[in-house]
A and B are shown apart, each in its own frame.
Chain A
Amino acid sequence: MNELIKSIQVSIWFMFLTFPIMVIRVNAIEKSVIWRWENLALVGVGSFVLSFVWRWALRRKEAGDAAAASGGQEAGRLSALLENPALRLPIQVVLLAVFCTIPWFVTTYQTNILISFLLYVVLGLGLNVIVGVAGLLFLGHAAFYAIGAYSYALLNQYFGLGFWVALPIGGLVAALAGVALAFPVLRLRGDYLAIVTLGFGEIVRLLLENFSDITGGPSGISNIPRPGLLDMQLSVAGANIYIYYIVLALALVTIVAVTRLKDSRIGRALQALREDEIACEAMGIDRVGVKLMAFGLGTAWAGFAGVVFAAKTTFINPASFTFFESAIILSIVVLGGMGSNLGVILGSAFLVLLPEYMRAFSEYRMILFATAMVLMMVFRPQGLIPEKRKTYTVSDPELNAATGGQN
């Protein structure tokens, strides 16, 4: 009964709150008002039901916290399935086979979607190195994506460099820009760092817009060549498939590279930085060097992705690299699970593929992802696939004897 009253209160509150925005629509020119009462009913019913769910979820979370505190650990079923060592190799092989053959069975349009999915995988994994592994909240990733894209576009326009030459240069330039950004922000942490990187991202975009003599200003650069294959003249569809394979290769390289990096000496130093900067320094890790590495290693991938993006669309302008783009990449990392590479891949799949294949859904894409960002932080801050901690196996006969061979 109590619950019912609470939900009715919530429902009334939300109907009141959303009334002007949801119900009234003024047409100032025709001087008419459209009243959309059906929306009010929708909000009322929706918030009534959701308030039950909300309270249930909160209670469950509190119970979960208590359980975790007393030593119990919840193992994600999805992640358990995906990380089952027996299934792991077959799943990887099947996925690889599917991704290698799929462009021959689908339309150019769908290949395009897959390309953008893979680009987001690369961008997300790069950002994950900075945000997830090193724990530096970074809101300017799109700027480095832009730096990569403009590197190729400008190098091509002014010096006639081709795609394959520009690809490493774009990555390098983005990495260097990342390191250059990292220098002044070394002392900052947490939320201040986030805002400075956001500011930096916007500055890059605004500069691209304002240096119109070089960058073409808001209208951008067009006629960027697609990569050529052995001097062959590819059709648009063919070029698209070719780019698909390039992105696929890039994504695979990225996956392998960031996974190896995470499990290495450098990766451990990055994680230590996330956990405690002062202890990190006291254990002999060069905080400055590691931070610079984190930025460089993260932004380099954005640079690579940018070059490919420019080659794919053949046209770029600053509007593609707003804060909005950074927020999308961040939400991929957050939804997937900070620090978890598998999570980031799934996150990009959700963000790019679902809305494309569920048309009805696409209009609501951003609002759903915004909601998911909030809900994730409230109920599941570790993301869809929580970061998997590397477990080491040590062969120690004494230990096995001591614990009765349980390990």
Chain B
Amino acid sequence: MDWQYFTELFLGGLTRGSIYALIAIGYTMVYGIIELINFAHGEVYMLGAFMGLIVAGVLGILGFPAPAILVIAAVVAIIYCAGYGYTMEKIAYKPLRGAGRLSPLISAIGMSLFLQNYIILAQTSDFLPFPRLIPDFDFLEPVAHVFGSSDFVIVVTSALFMAGLTVFIKYTKMGKAMRATAQNRKMAMLLGVDSDKVISITFILGSSLAALGGVLIASHVGMVNFAIGFLAGIKAFTAAVLGGIGSIPGAMLGGLFLGLSESFATGYISSDYEDVFAFTLLVVFLIFRPSGIMGKAKVEKV
């Protein structure tokens, strides 16, 4: 066994997986609370990348240093995408509460197409280059060929934000309200939880993480396009399903699992089938184990 190659694939999978996990959290949180597959979530990630690109472009011309640009771009992208997530919920999902399950999903597909075309019309449908904003770290020098500085930044930042989210959900009052709403929305409302606010916060948090993922991956890959959200969104959704949709730690694990298995599959089998692999995993899991790797099956009451 070639350990060098294995490590390379493992680290590559870790980077991918971190991004999937960041986006998957948004899917899983929204699903946990209102049982909606927010189809437009991948588009928020794409918007995040574009926001980052625009901010980086402007600041780059003004001559800011690269690390500062990265931080500012990430912050701006997070703020704006949180705004988009919030607004999206108010327009496309809130009026549809209690309207069955298909209507909100169709509305979400509409929202997703809207945001893609919004970018096409207001910006461009071409691929845009994203500047390299992450400096080379000296201490990564010996492993730079398999685990560059951008990999390092992605993994560390994602881990930090996910830890932060976990703390928020576990220890704050809002976090408690969110968990209560996810368990039983009506009961939580009766006990004085403002469910509208909880739902808004959920969208804001999910969108922020997706935006962060967008900026990070754009600076890693160096390319941005209006269509990147679709595939990333589906894959992140796959990750959420793998981990058991509705569970935040599940989404993190699912993201890593998907990232690693994709990396190994492309490395050891064939890179042509990278996306086929992810889709197949999604289909197989939804069919045979819709409750995820660790979840329990639900029995429908008749």
Interface residues of A (CB under 8 A from B): 13-14, 16-18, 20-22, 24-28, 31-33, 39, 58, 61, 135, 137, 139, 184-185, 187-188, 190-192, 194-196, 198-200, 202-203, 206-207, 210, 278, 323, 327, 330-331, 334, 363-364, 366-367, 369-374, 376-378, 381
Contact = CB atoms under 8 A, between A and B. Distances in A.
Contacts of A327: 109, 113
Given A20-B51, A331-B110, A370-B117, A377 B58 contact: no
A191 B105 contact: yes
A137 B37 CA distance: 13
Contact of A370 (B105, B113, B123): B113
B218 to A, nearest CB: 12
A192 B290 contact: yes
B276 A206 contact: yes
B92 interface: yes
A330 B109 contact: yes
A282 B50 CA distance: 53
Contacts of B55: 20
Given A202-B234, A373-B110, A373-B113, A367 B101 contact: no
A270 to B, nearest CB: 16
Contact of A203 (B80, B272, B283): B283
B273 interface: yes
B95 A58 contact: yes
Q: Could you say which interface size class chain B belongs to?
A: 35 or more
Given A13-B83, A184-B287, A210-B272, 17 more contacts: A20-B55, A21-B118, A28-B129, A188-B290, A191-B101, A191-B105, A194-B37, A199-B280, A202-B234, A206-B276, A327-B109, A372-B110, A373-B106, A373-B107, A374-B92, A377-B106, A378-B96
A370 B111 contact: yes
Contacts of B51: 20-21
A285 B51 CA distance: 53
B57 A26 contact: yes
A202 B275 contact: yes
Contacts of B280: 199, 203
B276 A210 contact: yes
A137 B279 contact: no
Interface centre among B103, B105, B230, B283 (most CB of A within 10 A): B283
Nearest to B58: A33
Interface in B90-117: 91-92, 95-96, 99, 101-107, 109-114, 116-117
Contacts of A188: 286-287, 290
B54 A21 contact: yes
Contacts of B276: 203, 206-207, 210
Contact of B84 (A17, A194, A334, A377): A17
A378 B107 contact: yes
B87 to A, nearest CB: 6
A199 B99 contact: no
A199 B118 CA distance: 25
A366 B300 CA distance: 39
A377 B122 contact: no
Contacts of B80: 17, 20
Interface SS of chain A? helix
Interface in B236-294: 237, 241, 272-273, 275-276, 279-280, 282-283, 286-287, 290
Nearest to A366: B117
Contacts of A190: 101-102, 105
Q: Which 10 A-B pairs have the closest CB atoms?
A: A26-B57, A373-B110, A370-B113, A370-B114, A367-B117, A377-B107, A374-B110, A199-B283, A199-B279, A190-B101
Contacts of B234: 198-199, 202
A88 B21 CA distance: 56
A191 B37 contact: yes
B128 interface: yes
B263 to A, nearest CB: 18
B123 A374 contact: no
Given A203-B279, A206-B275, A206-B279, A366 B61 contact: no
A180 to B, nearest CB: 13
Nearest to B110: A373
A393 B164 CA distance: 65
Given A26-B57, A194-B105, A206-B276, A364 B121 contact: yes
Contact of B273 (A195, A210, A323): A210
B83 A22 contact: no
B83 A17 contact: yes
Contacts of A61: 95
